[in-house]
Amino acid sequence: MTEASPTMQSAAGTRLNRKGRETRQRLLDIAIVCLAAGSSEPLSANRVARAAGVSWGTLKHQFGDIDGLWAAVLIELTDRSGANSPEIWPQVTGSIRERVWEVVDAIWTILDTPEGRAVETLRAGLPNGPDERLEVFPRTTAAMAGYEDAWLRAFEYFLADLPLDSDKVRRVQALIPMAMRGINNERRLSSPAELANARHCLVDAIAVYLQ
């Protein structure tokens, strides 16, 4: 759980006291649980408020609207991932393939955590078109971009000391999350051996391409 800042503010710009900060954190935790669980029920702030046993007014005071809630959730998840904390990242060594495998394996693991499932549920629940997403969920769209950018920077870190073609690195940055989501969609349909083979094939192809 991310420790709340003592100067954290409500959606209205008022300073939150200790109880207000605790309420905000509880709402974020419950929103993440709701998203991770998935449901046939559409994503909504009311669903989160019901699960938390609070009124819509309490949630509105904290986040303003559904856009503010989802944006706050993504910021919380980015902080939890450690992607914004390079000081805790591991020391990088090994071949290109070993480093790419570390990234792929990390994404594979994260996608099957409550936090990873929450992000994927949220992604799936947003409008498909970029213009509509930006119009209806401007703060969520910005926070999602921040979440993804944090992982792109982590990928760059793993390869930073190698003399690689920067254009190829950028293309691989775009490929890996998309490819891993595709393999992850097969997690419940394919055998562990098939899934491992798919990941190893992806890593082998990327390593050859980068070399």
> DSSP string spanning 47-68?
HHHHHHT--HHHHHHHHSSHHH
pLDDT value at residue 75: 93
Residue 193 within any structural domain of the chain: yes
Q: Which pLDDT band, with edges at 50, 70 and 90, does 201 fall under?
A: very high
Residue 132 within any structural domain of the chain: yes
Question: How many domains does the structure of the chain reveal?
Answer: 1
pLDDT tens digit string along 139-195? 999 999 999 888 888 888 888 889 999 999 999 999 999 999 999 999 989 999 999
The whole-model pTM stands at 0.84
Check pLDDT > 70 for residue 127.
yes
Percent of the chain's residues with pLDDT above 70: 92
Count Cβ neighbours within 10 Å for each residue of 111-129 and write b for 16 or more, e otherwise: beeebbbbbbbbeeebeee
pLDDT value at residue 42: 66
Domain range holding 162? 86-210
Greatest CA span in the chain, whole angstroms?
56
Residue 11 within any structural domain of the chain: no
Mean pLDDT of the chain: 87
Task: From residue 143, give the alpha-carbon distance in Å to each of 65, 71, 115, 175.
Answer: 15, 5, 15, 21
pLDDT value at residue 50: 87
